[in-house]
Amino acid sequence: MNSLYFLIEGGKALDLVKEHIAEKKAVRTAVREMAAELGIEQGVTCRLGGNLLGAIFHGTCHPDFTKPNRKGHSFPKKNTEWEKRFAAAPRHNPVTEVIADAMNIPCTLEYTSGTSHGWRHIGYPLSECGFLYLSENGPYAMWIPDVQAEVSAMEADGYAVAEPAKSFVPAFDGCRRIEKEEWEFLVAQHKLEQKRAAMEQTA
């Protein structure tokens, strides 16, 4: 499944990525603080929200946590203070939902063929959209599913595709379309600059 990449230079997308970074930073801080209080260096975090779900104790398990499972993961026991704290801990909104909802990007495709109909995901489930950034201060980019390519492929196979996917146009205020390789070049350039700066400091 193909994705489209955009360099974020302004508009709604710029606000979204900055808010997302701030949310992730707050979540990471909360995770570190709880981990330090529990005396753990590793834990289980939620893929979508980033919040702490469980702990990996290298020694005596905390009495408010279950015995380690086969993977060594322990989770807060029901009706304990730690269960309440884990439930109330900050989490960031799933990035695909943030981007898709705000930018009106269809991540599913409804289709008909004769008397039958159905739907399917566009892109990889739970990661159809996402942000890319080298630091809190940018540069920023985002990826979205190539909706037009999926629609064209379905129509070429004889399916009738419904809205909003059918007429979706991937154009957003403040965003400039780039190739994936262009972003990879920016990343490589950034790493090279960091390496050179480090070498100059040690020279």
The 10s digit of each residue's pLDDT in 162-179 is 999 999 999 999 999 999
Continuous segment of H or E residues that includes residue 128: none
Q: Using pLDDT thresholds of 50, 70 and 90, give the confidence band for residue 201.
A: confident
pTM (two decimals): 0.86
**177 contact partners, CB below 8 Å, separation of at least 6:** 4, 5, 6, 170
Separation of alpha carbons 178 and 115, rounded Å: 40
pLDDT of the residue at 19: 96
Separation of alpha carbons 166 and 156, rounded Å: 13
3-class state of residue 68 by DSSP: coil
Cβ count within 10 A of residue 69 = 10
Q: Hey, what amino acid is at 147?
A: V
Q: Hey, what amino acid is at 42?
A: Q
